[in-house]
Structure 1
Amino acid sequence: MTVRAAVHPVLVFLLFAVFASPGYAQIYKWVDEDGKVHFSDRKDHRIEQEEIRVKPGASKWARYEIDIKTVDVELTGEEHQQIADGVNNVYEFFDRVMSFDMYRTVPVNILIFRGKAEYQNYLIGNNRGSSIASYGLYIPSEHQIVVYIREHRSLTFKTIKHEVSHAVVDSIIPYAPAWLNEGLAEQMEMLERDESGLYFERHPDNQWVVARAREQGRLAEIDQFLKLPSDKWRHSDSSGSGSLRAQSGQFVCFLLSTPTRRNFVVRLMHNFNRGDRTLSYYLVDDNYLGGVTMLGSDWNRWLFDQGDGVIRL
């Protein structure tokens, strides 16, 4: 597991954040014959390495005050708190788990309509008519999330967390591939917090869709999945002809299920944050131990046995 880069203080900090674990983390640094600086969490006795010991600092993340407006609908105090907690949990995930400075992101404002018709009329009035079939939408120009109250109100609150994830990614990782953007948003729906900290539960809908697609031989192989450009991903998703959205959610769930794979996601996201537009497929060999072949094998094993229904972060 090796990361190549030019020497840059910000990059060094990000690498430390990625490889750091409770207590002191061991990072090895060396310079190759071409003058490129390398960092790794593995000791290689074949080359001369400098050991760097890093103790990660506490996150400076703190809760935001969330602006929530409603149109012809009343929220209970408990529901208002549930929305604010959910949004802050998503912000904290990107700050503490993904190592992004969330104070560089303007908090979203949330607009909640009473019903679907009012929601759709608002979108049409804001030239968003193509999204009227959705449950919620993030509008970048307004930095606004718009939703409507569904019959099961808890689903509305999940949609808000989904769209908050899109808001964060749009703000700080604009070149994130569609599968990663949507997969994170799908998983954020299941993000919760208890006295032990943040955790995910399985996404039952995505789990069912992926299992069925796999049984029917319709599930995309990981190498093809990672090669799919974002525009083609979105076209396939909007056509409703595939299971890409559910697969993206489950694939991100798989990646977040262990610390090693979470580190892989962090490295990918910071690559895209720095403006890298390379297809995900071509970044795997440099960032995932064993490359695409091992990633595909690990994914298939996980599909057979997904382990505990709760992922602690």
Structure 2
Amino acid sequence: MRGPLLILIVWLATNSSSRVRAEEPWVATRTMGLFEVRSEFALEDVESQRIMTQIEGLQTDVLTHLNLTAGEQSVEVNLFRSQSTYRAFLSSRVPEGMNRPALFVQGTDYGRVYVYRRRGFDTDLRHECTHAVLHNALPYVPMWIDEGLAEYFEPPREQRSAGNPHLASLRRSIFFGWKPNLARLEQAENLSDMGAAEYREAWAWAHFLLNGPADARQVLSDYLYDISEGETAGSFQTRLLERVPDAERQLVNHIRLWR
């Protein structure tokens, strides 16, 4: 698995007329649900069509698994043929993101995904598009939930539950006594608070909350619903422990025994 890709939330006043500029060399465009895709390379080959199909399905999967409703705004997905064209495009728009291989930016008008073509770029794309769907449906997303879900949904659908490298890594750590710490994870507010260990634990909680006991799944659903309604959601850990008092022990067993 590639290193964690970081989400960048930029609240910029943007003009919708800037969405498509004549000088931008977009070779192909697609509209798939929320996603308005524009690409510097053709999308007719088998591999590109497979990736586009996955992205269309990703939107449905995220919304369905989390009981969310898509917002009215679209998400602009920008695909670049190389790192150099990616960096040139971002240099005047999101210069702080130029050194990242992929990026999601939430503007005041709509969300934008930026990814350049390289080995594993489809994983980058699924990760950032997960962020985009979440922020399209919700007014805000707690950092650990945002990154945990993006890590969970970044593999292809058939590999999500058992094929993520985090699973084997955590099992090794559990053998040597690793335990989760949701209270600490929930305090993460900035990207600097999220290192590799935090991304891995956030993924573990996402896996547990989506595939574990019904009470845990309901806590996540209720929590996200309250956020969607503009309510003060409060501490997720407090809510979870009210319904699943031994949640951290259950998470360890869930990861250790998952097949």
Which TM-score band applies after superposition, normalised by the shorter structure?
0.7 to 0.9
**Counterpart check, 1:158 vs 2:127:** no
Confirm or deny: 8 A CA contact 2:69 2:137 kept in the other structure. Answer: no
Q: Deviations over 1:135-180 (max 9, x none)?
A: 21112225221101113xxx21222121111112212223321111
Matches within 5 A, 1:130-169: 130-141=96-107, 143-151=111-119, 155-169=120-134
Output the CA distance in 2 between the equivalents of 1:304 and 1:285. Answer: 21
2:153 aligned residue: 188
Moved more, 257-266 or 207-216: 207-216
Output the CA distance in 2 between the equivalents of 1:119 and 1:253. Answer: 32
4+ residue runs over 4 A deviation: 211-220
Which of structures 1 and 2 has the larger relative contact order (alpha carbons within 8 angstroms, sep 6+)?
Answer: 2
Output the CA distance in 2 between the equivalents of 1:190 and 1:281. Answer: 27
**Unaligned segments of structure 1, at least 5 residues:** 1-62, 194-198, 309-313
2:200 aligned residue: 246
Q: Deviations over 1:40-68 (max 9, x none)?
A: xxxxxxxxxxxxxxxxxxxxxxx628432
Q: Deviations over 1:199-246 (max 9, x none)?
A: 8343533234434555666764234333x2423xx2222xx4x41112
Confirm or deny: 8 A CA contact 1:219 1:243 kept in the other structure. Answer: no
SS in 2 for 1:85: helix
Deviation at 1:271, TM superposition (A): 2.2
Output the CA distance in 1 between the equivalents of 2:68 and 2:97. Answer: 29
Of 228, 241, 251, the match for 1:285: 241
Deviation at 1:296, TM superposition (A): 0.7
Of 29, 51, 54, the match for 1:83: 51
Letter in 2 for 1:251: W
Output the CA distance in 2 between the equivalents of 1:116 and 1:208. Answer: 31
Q: Structure 1 length as normaliser, TM-score? A: 0.62
Aligned residues: 224
The verdict on how the C-alpha distance between 1:97 and 1:290 changes in structure 2, with shifts beyond 3 A counting, is closer
Output the CA distance in 1 between the equivalents of 2:219 and 2:58. Answer: 19
Q: Structure 2 length as normaliser, TM-score? A: 0.74
Output the CA distance in 2 between the equivalents of 1:209 and 1:124. Answer: 36
The verdict on how the C-alpha distance between 1:81 and 1:304 changes in structure 2, with shifts beyond 3 A counting, is same
SS in 2 for 1:68: strand
Matches within 5 A, 1:173-252: 173-192=138-157, 200-211=160-171, 214=174, 220-226=180-186, 228-231=187-190, 234-237=191-194, 240=195, 242-252=196-206
Q: Give the greater-gyration-radius structure (CA).
A: 1
Confirm or deny: 8 A CA contact 2:219 2:239 kept in the other structure. Answer: no
Matches within 5 A, 1:88-107: 88-102=56-70, 104-107=71-74
Q: CA RMSD in A?
A: 2.7
Letter in 1 for 2:114: V
Deviation at 1:299, TM superposition (A): 0.7
2:21 aligned residue: none
Output the CA distance in 2 between the equivalents of 1:115 and 1:209. Answer: 32
Output the CA distance in 2 between the equivalents of 1:122 and 1:213. Answer: 41
1:67 aligned residue: 36
Output the CA distance in 2 between the equivalents of 1:283 and 1:219. Answer: 20
Output the CA distance in 1 between the equivalents of 2:180 and 2:157. Answer: 29
2:23 aligned residue: none
Q: Deviations over 1:78-123 (max 9, x none)?
A: 2332233222222212332222222x34332221112223222322
Identity rate of aligned residues, in percent? 17
**Unaligned segments of structure 2, at least 5 residues:** 1-31
SS in 2 for 1:230: coil
SS in 2 for 1:243: helix
Letter in 2 for 1:159: D
Confirm or deny: 8 A CA contact 1:191 1:201 kept in the other structure. Answer: no
The verdict on how the C-alpha distance between 1:208 and 1:285 changes in structure 2, with shifts beyond 3 A counting, is closer
Letter in 2 for 1:298: Q
1 or 2, which has the higher strand percentage?
A: 1
